[in-house]
Amino acid sequence: MVGAAQPHYVTETQILRRVANDPNCGWRFTKHAEQEMGNDGWTADDVKHAVMNGRVILEEHKRDVLWRVVGRDFDGNQIQVVVAVYEGSIKIKVVTAF
């Protein structure tokens, strides 16, 4: 069975990985993200790992352009992270993780 075509955010994933893997990348966490991470027992390192190796599956245009990233932590558990990427200043804002 052929399902509906899914967009492949190849370019977005490349940009995300380039910024996330930059050693000078600044990571910001919203209060909401911090709360969600605390509830699920994820640390900044888990979220970073998921983003650095994950792929963009959805783009949302809100106040920022947000990318939903699906990735995995070190133990292979799936994490979805919503991020805003600031390519110019090499920053990633983690909006939420679930």
Partner 1 sequence: MAKHDERRGELRVLEREHRTNNEKVESEKTLPVYDATVLVGLRTTVFDAAIERVEDDGEVTIELPKLQELLAAAAVARCLMPIKLRGAEIKTMRRLMKMTHAELAERLDPKTAAETVSRWESEAQPMGGYAEKVFRLVVCEQLKNDAPGVNYNASMIAHLAVLDPWKADESFQVPPVGLWLCRLKEQCSGNIIDAWNEKKAA
* Residue 84 contacts partner 1 per CB under 8 A: yes
Q: Which of 21, 45, 60, 78 binds partner 1 (CB under 8 A)?
A: 45
Whether 78 contacts 15, CB under 8 Å: no
Question: Shortest gap between Cβ of 17 and partner 1 (angstroms)?
Answer: 13
39 class by beta-carbon count within 10 Å (0-12 exposed, 13-18 middle, 19+ buried) = exposed
**The amino acid at 9:** Y
Applying CB under 8 A, which residues contact partner 1?
A: 11-12, 15, 26-31, 34, 37-38, 41, 43-46, 48-49, 59, 61, 63-65, 73-75, 84-89, 91, 93
